[in-house]
Each structure stands twice: as structure tokens, then as C-alpha cells.
């Protein structure tokens, strides 16, 4: 899984993690039932506290993007198949917009006002 986290960004590391995992799921880079890296592994890789990664994973679970499997890890949750094509296209556009805003280091507060 490819992730780019910037500690100097105005967007929190947890929020960056959540957004990038969602983008990876929407783009098909992460497949249903694919295991995500462990909390410790990501914390070590990006030199962040494991609680930061854990909070991001909990947010993803709350939003139904991933599921926790006791003793096994965190896995991409299959998305609902009844989602209409226009809804998927809209999700993709929104994800692309958020990624572009992040690349420009646009503060989330500014994005929300638009």
C-alpha cells in the first residue's frame, strides 16, 4: 500500500491516513478483503504514535471502509454492490478533489468553506 504522510501539513496525520486509504479503495488499489498494514508497522514506517494509526483505522471502520478481524488484522470491507454508477462516479470526483487540495497544501477549513 502506497501512502504519503506529511507531518508538516495543516491536515492531521490521522486524517491524511484515512483519506489516502479511502482513495486507495475507491481507485481499486486496495481490493476487498485485502489486509492493511498493522498499526505498529505503519507507526514505525512514518515515525508516528501507534495511537494515531489506530485512531485512523477506527475512523475507517466507523465509516464502513474496513473491518477489524480479531487476532488477524484490519481488512478492506467489500463495498455495497447496489451503489449506483452515478454515486460511485461522484465519490471518485470528490476523492480526486480532496487529493488535489491536499497536494496544494490547502487547509481543510478552506476546503470545507467551498
Q: What is the pLDDT of residues 36-85, one digit of tens each?
A: 999 999 999 999 999 999 999 999 999 889 999 999 999 999 876 545 56
Residue 1 lies in a domain: no
Residue 91 lies in a domain: yes
Angstrom distance (rounded) from CA 110 to CA 101? 10
Give the pLDDT confidence score for residue 27 in this predicted structure.
Answer: 83
User: Phi, psi at residue 7, to the nearest 5°?
Assistant: -75, -20
Number of domains in the chain: 1
Residue 2 lies in a domain: no
Four-point Cα dihedral 29, 61, 13, 39, nearest 10: -80
Q: Do 20 and 56 form a contact (C-beta atoms < 8 A)? A: no
Residue 6 lies in a domain: no
Domain hosting 67: range is 13-113
Residue 4 lies in a domain: no
Angstrom distance (rounded) from CA 55 to CA 18? 9
Amino acid at each position: 500500500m502506497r501512502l504519503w504522510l506529511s507531518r508538516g501539513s495543516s491536515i492531521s496525520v490521522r486524517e491524511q491516513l484515512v483519506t489516502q486509504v479511502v482513495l486507495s479503495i475507491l481507485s481499486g488499489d486496495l481490493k476487498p478483503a485485502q489486509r492493511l498494514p498493522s498499526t505498529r508497522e505503519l507507526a514505525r514506517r512514518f515515525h508516528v504514535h501507534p495511537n494515531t494509526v489506530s485512531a485512523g483505522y477506527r475512523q475507517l471502520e466507523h465509516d464502513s471502509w474496513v473491518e477489524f478481524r480479531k487476532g488477524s488484522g484490519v481488512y478492506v470491507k467489500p463495498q455495497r454492490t447496489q451503489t449506483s454508477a452515478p454515486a460511485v462516479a461522484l465519490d471518485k470526483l470528490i476523492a480526486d478533489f480532496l487529493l488535489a487540495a491536499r497536494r496544494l497544501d490547502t487547509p481543510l477549513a478552506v476546503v470545507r468553506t467551498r
